[in-house]
Amino acid sequence: MNFKYKKEVSILVISFMLCLSIFTYIKVTYFRDKKLDEPITTVISYYNKEEVKEPLTVVPATTKIVSTTSAPLITTTTIEPIDVQIVNASKYPYLEPPVFIDDGSIIYDGMTITELTNKLNRSLTSYLTNTGYFFAKYTKDTGMDPYLSVAIVLHETGCKWKCSTLTRECNNIGGLKGGNSCNGSSYRKYDTLEEGIEGYLNTIYYNYYKNGFVTPEAMASSYAASSSWPSKVRSYMNEIKAK
């Protein structure tokens, strides 16, 4: 039987075999580990894949913490936050508490400076909010009774309820006189509350405490004219210590 397109078919078969051989050679030589449909599936996957978004990292809200006080490590500490009614926040000089170093040493009544600061802060409110550290540091430096010093301040300034004008406007927490005048009066004005606290503590320490007058009863005769003064200060001291 004579096939009319024998030549054409032979050429087609030879061409097909040649192409198959070339393809096989390329596949074996350059793409030995690739599946035949991998290039196609890769392209399809690229255009079909959804954008993967990284999950948001949510940083939990934190509160200030009191660091561990294990000696001899020195740690930066912050004091416990004090609840304050934030009205005209700028009127609170230490709405943000001071940051200080606590070396873990016991400074008074079995407490470290951090623990004493926190204890005093529970009684110091209004304009004196978060100032416990300055009283605690003075105790660490001198040994003066911090309950006594804070008690006199609360009695003199009325800061248990609302601090006096002398305190709020002139940073004078002890009714001290002399020096820069507070609004034209005989009472002294301090540029900062920290300076006012230091000035008051120095007065109490060097004029009374260092000379042996270490209780309100002993101080009363030369410090205050009122016979009820020592009992009122003693009441404050007991209240501060109990908190």
Q: Could you read off the pLDDT of 156-187 as tens digits, one per residue?
A: 898 888 889 999 999 999 889 988 899 999 99
Contact 65, 75 (CB under 8 A): no
- Whether residue 215 contacts residue 148, with contact meaning beta carbons closer than 8 Å, is answered with yes
Assign a CATH topology to domain 106-242: Lysozyme (1.10.530)
> Taking the alpha carbons of 46, 48, 49, 50 in that order, is the dihedral positive or negative?
positive
> pLDDT digits over 24-64, tens only?
777 666 656 555 555 555 544 544 544 444 443 333 333 34
**pLDDT band at residue 11 using 50, 70 and 90 as cut-offs:** confident
Strand pairing partners for 76? 101
pLDDT of residue 78: 54
Residue by residue, DSSP assigns 91-124 as G-TTSSPPEEEE-----BTTB-HHHHHHHHHTT-
Least Cα distance to 166 among 149, 150, 189, 184 occurs for: 189
pLDDT tens column, 203-219: 999 999 999 999 999 99
Residue 185 contacts by C-beta under 8 Å, 6 or more apart in sequence? none
Of the pLDDT bands very low, low, confident and very high (cuts 50, 70, 90), residue 235 is: very high
Higher pLDDT, 88 or 198: 198
- Burial environment of residue 203 by CB neighbours within 10 A (0 to 12, 13 to 18, 19 or more): middle
Q: What is the pLDDT of residue 92?
A: 86
- pLDDT category at 18 given cuts 50, 70, 90 is confident
pLDDT digits (tens, 9 = 90+) for 58-92: 333 333 434 434 444 444 455 555 444 434 444 78
Q: Is the pLDDT of residue 21 over 80?
A: no
Q: Where are the alpha helices (DSSP H) in the chain?
A: 6-30, 38-48, 113-121, 132-142, 146-157, 165-170, 193-207, 216-223, 229-242
Q: In this structure, what token pair is assigned to residue 103?
A: 């070396």
Q: Which amino acid is at 40?
A: I
pLDDT tens across 96-152, in order?
A: 999 999 999 999 999 999 999 999 999 999 999 999 999 999 999 999 999 999 999
